[in-house]
């Protein structure tokens, strides 16, 4: 080991008490210490903070850390202060500070005491702060949660767009460290471009979570009963159930409670005290289940969450990955169960209808990926990792058999000829259609867009009309994951041939495919299809009544709470 390496290890031990680096941390840190622009892509929990904290502590000057979440900044500052001799080693600079406090921060920076200065991006737009920061020694600038810069990320923040400009004003040659847990190629490209660091050395960790089991079930009228059954089979284990609306969170939490499950609701409409209380109950294991909107989870570090259920399918694969990622942090079992009905996708589309067109297009493209994920019968893990630009082989890759599609494979049939038809049609129509329109061309069904292209599309119209639209859609999804076709992101999903796709047309190979799942849409039609009994989805009033009754009875007679839903 060189002297520098020994220094890094002893600093790691001294400041953080860790005996070794995780994953790519050491390489990243060396690159940051060397003063290079650095781009770090690691899943949540991968240890990104250390990648800027450690270099900040050992480098001369102050590192500026931009982060969107004040609560997370405070946690980090407290943690760093706890292991340092001087309280001023880390500060948060934001609009809530009074004059004296701001002065103290500035003095600590000028005196070389402050190694880490956390700021929210909107605070950085304050002239006074920028003017001050120009005059002091800045070691580097870390942009945490850097995906906030991209509209294709799951958490776009317009203030992030100004960062490049502000960094330039603070100092032209300040090294930049961008960090994110968003692995989609488009978001990465946006980050590099918008932060003006296309020369950055990129460190990307694998996003595979081999201990998580992925499963998608059809969402029927009996979804509540199904969830109750699942939770009862996993009695005593910790889990999160995500719902789209606050109302559904409240209802479902009650339904679970009435059925004897220890569950609490969590959403942004609850007052802060209740939210903290419910979160603590979960962490302290006073409740097994939190029924929540996506407001729950950011920064929650409970290692033994054993299941994450999506009562409603999320709006992107990215969100799905982040939310399911809260299961099995300790490396133990983690079951990710999502309920899917196409009607829910339509609901999500409707939510977007008032938004600017570009935003709608992005939202729609992201939703189509969710549809493909849910309906496709290929490995869930392979699908997710492909979405993140990662190749995965189910035979050799870790966790290769950990999903419903791999465990219960559908019949595969030889589809070599169909792949050729598909790829040729993409080529012959000059790569201008998205999946849905391409399928229309292949089965010979016109729509306004296709009609407008009549002259060049007509010869290929109906080349595959002997098969159903659903067959071609399934094939497109599988051919994309196999790499023969690519979705062009700039045009929100127009299909293009890859080089291997072109080669396939010249020299077709065996291609085994399985048809997509068919999901019965029985969510809203009132038909109870589940033959196994259940019917726990009672209305709100009844639930409240039963709950009251249960409480009164329990008090008066000392009887155990009764159970409405009985597992058969």
Which residue number, 25 or 31, has a Cβ lying nearer to ligand ADP?
25
Q: In the bound complex, what is the minimum distance in angstroms from residue 65's beta carbon to ligand ADP?
A: 12
Q: In angstroms, what is the minimal distance from the CB of 177 to ligand ADP?
A: 13
Residue 406, φ and ψ in degrees, nearest 5: -75, -35
Q: Are 469 and 441 in contact (CB under 8 A)?
A: no
Binding site for Mg ion (CB under 5 A): 48
Q: How far apart (Å, rounded) are the C-alpha atoms in residues 102 and 502?
A: 61
Burial of residue 125, with CB atoms counted within 10 A of its CB: 0-12 exposed, 13-18 middle, 19 or more buried: middle
Residues 6 or more apart in contact with residue 544 via CB below 8 angstroms: 254
Interaction of residue 21 with ligand ADP, rule CB under 6 A = yes
Do the Cβ atoms of 352 and 364 come closer than 8 Å? yes
Residue 42 binds ligand ADP (CB under 6 A): yes
Give which of Mg ion, ligand ADP, none residue 46 binds (C-beta under 5 to 8 Å, depending on kind). ligand ADP
* Comparison of 46 and 178: residue with beta carbon closer to ligand ADP: 46
Relative to beta strand 201-204, strand 212-218 is: unpaired
Cβ-Cβ contacts under 8 Å for 141 (sequence gap 6 or more) = 63, 64, 65, 66, 167, 170, 174, 175, 176, 177
Cα 355 from Cα 362, distance rounded (Å): 11
Long-range contacts of 438-444 (CB under 8 A, 24+ apart): 438/472, 438/476, 438/495, 439/469, 439/472, 439/473, 439/476, 440/469, 442/472, 443/467, 443/468, 443/469, 443/472
Closest alpha carbon to 175 in 253, 59, 45, 306: 59
The Cα–Cα gap between 47 and 107 comes to 31
Using the rule CB under 6 A, is 155 a contact of ligand ADP? no
Least spacing, CB of residue 117 vs ligand ADP, in Å: 18
Q: Which is nearer to Mg ion, 177 or 261 (CB)?
A: 177
313 binds ligand ADP (CB under 6 A): no
Residue 493 touches which member of ligand ADP, Mg ion, none, C-beta under 5-8 Å by kind: none
For ligand ADP, the closer CB: 22 or 347: 22
Q: How far is the CB of 12 from ligand ADP (least distance, A)?
A: 7
**Rounded least distance, CB 387 to Mg ion, Å:** 21
Q: DSSP H helical segments within 65-170, as ranges? A: 70-82, 99-110, 127-133, 163-170
Which of ligand ADP, Mg ion, none is residue 50 near (CB under 5 to 8 Å by kind)?
ligand ADP
Q: What are residue 537's phi and psi, to 5 degrees? A: -80, 60
Member of 9, 11, 30, 45 binding ligand ADP (CB under 6 A): 45
Write b or e for each residue in 501-535: b if 16 or more Cβ atoms lie within 10 A of its Cβ, otherwise e: beebbeeeeebebbbbbebebbbeeeeeeeeeebe
In the complex, minimum distance from the CB of residue 76 to Mg ion, in angstroms, rounded to a whole number: 9
CB of 186 to ligand ADP, least distance (A): 21
Q: Which does 175 bind (CB under 5 to 8 A by kind): ligand ADP, Mg ion, none?
A: none
Q: Does position 218 bind ligand ADP by CB under 6 A? A: no
> At its nearest, how many Å lie between ligand ADP and the CB of residue 76?
8
Is residue 50 a contact point for ligand ADP (CB under 6 A)? yes
Stretch that binds ligand ADP, among 47-55, 58-66, 89-97, 114-122 (CB under 6 A): 47-55
432 counts as binding ligand ADP under rule CB under 6 A: no
Part in contact with ligand ADP (CB under 6 A); list of ranges 17-25, 194-202, 223-231, 404-412: 17-25
The binder of ligand ADP chosen from 22, 30, 186, 445 (CB under 6 A): 22
Told to check if 47 binds ligand ADP by CB under 6 A, we report yes
CB of 399 to ligand ADP, least distance (A): 20
Determine the Cα–Cα distance for residues 158 and 148; give it in Å rounded to an integer: 8
Neighbours of 62 (CB within 10 A): 24
Q: Least CB distance from residue 44 to Mg ion, whole Å?
A: 7
Does 18 help bind ligand ADP (rule: CB under 6 A)?
A: yes
**Using CB under 6 A, which of 31, 37, 38, 44 touches ligand ADP?**
44
Which residues fall within 8 angstroms of residue 405, CB to CB, at 6 or more apart? Answer: 376, 377, 378, 379, 380
Binding site for ligand ADP (CB under 6 A): 18, 21-22, 25, 42, 44-50
């Amino acid at each position: 080991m060189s002297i520098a390496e020994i220094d890094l290890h002893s600093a790691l031990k001294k400041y953080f008490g860790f005996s070794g680096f995780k994953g790519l941390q050491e390489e990243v840190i060396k690159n940051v210490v060397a003063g290079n622009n650095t781009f770090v892509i690691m899943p949540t929990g991968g240890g990104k903070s250390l990648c800027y904290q450690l270099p900040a502590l050992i480098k001369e000057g102050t590192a500026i850390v931009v982060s969107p979440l004040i609560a997370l900044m405070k946690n980090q500052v407290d943690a760093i202060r706890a292991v340092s001799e001087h309280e001023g080693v880390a500060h948060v600079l934001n609009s809530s500070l009074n004059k004296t406090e701001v002065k103290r921060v500035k003095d600590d920076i000028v005196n070389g005491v402050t190694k880490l200065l956390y700021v929210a991006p909107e605070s950085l737009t304050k002239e006074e702060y920028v003017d001050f920061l120009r005059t002091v020694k800045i070691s580097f600038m870390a942009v945490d949660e850097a995906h906030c810069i991209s509209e294709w990320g799951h958490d776009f923040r317009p203030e992030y767009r100004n960062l490049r400009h502000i960094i330039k004003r603070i100092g032209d040659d300040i090294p930049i460290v961008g960090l994110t847990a968003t692995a989609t190629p488009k978001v990465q490209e946006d980050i590099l471009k918008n932060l003006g660091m296309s020369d950055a050395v990129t460190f990307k960790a694998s996003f595979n979570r081999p201990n998580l089991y992925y499963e998608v079930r059809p969402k029927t009228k009996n979804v509540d009963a199904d969830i109750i059954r699942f939770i009862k089979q996993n009695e005593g284990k910790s889990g999160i159930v995500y719902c789209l609306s606050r109302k559904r969170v409240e209802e479902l939490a009650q339904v679970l409670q009435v059925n004897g499950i220890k569950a609490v609701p969590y959403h942004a409409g609850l007052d802060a005290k209740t939210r903290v209380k419910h979160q603590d109950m979960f962490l302290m294991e006073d409740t097994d289940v939190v029924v929540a909107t996506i407001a729950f989870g950011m920064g929650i570090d409970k290692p033994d969450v054993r299941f994450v259920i999506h009562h409603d399918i999320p709006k992107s694969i990215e969100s799905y990955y982040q939310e399911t990622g809260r299961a099995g942090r300790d490396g133990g079992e983690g079951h990710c169960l999502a309920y899917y009905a196409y009607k829910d996708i339509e609901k999500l589309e409707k939510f977007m209808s008032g938004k600017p067109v570009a935003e709608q297009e992005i939202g729609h493209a992201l939703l189509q990926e969710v549809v493909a994920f849910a309906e496709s019968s290929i490995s869930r893990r392979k699908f997710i990792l492909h979405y993140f630009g990662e190749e995965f082989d189910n035979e050799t890759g870790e966790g290769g058999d950990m999903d419903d599609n791999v465990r219960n494979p559908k019949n595969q049939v030889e589809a070599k000829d169909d792949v050729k038809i598909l790829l040729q049609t993409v080529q012959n129509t000059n790569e201008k259609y998205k999946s849905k329109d391409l399928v229309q061309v292949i089965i010979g069904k016109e729509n306004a867009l296709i009609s407008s292209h009549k002259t060049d599309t007509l010869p290929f119209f109906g080349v595959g009309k002997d098969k159903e639209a659903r067959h071609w859609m399934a094939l497109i999804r599988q051919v994309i994951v196999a790499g023969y076709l690519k979705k062009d992101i700039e045009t929100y999903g127009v299909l293009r041939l890859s080089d291997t796709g072109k080669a396939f047309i010249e020299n077709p190979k065996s291609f085994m495919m399985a048809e997509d799942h068919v999901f019965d849409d029985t969510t809203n039609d009132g038909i109870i299809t589940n033959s196994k009994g259940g019917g726990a989805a009672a209305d709100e009033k009844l639930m409240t009544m039963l709950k009251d009754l249960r409480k009164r009875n329990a008090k008066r007679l000392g009887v155990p709470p009764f159970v409405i839903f009985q597992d058969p």
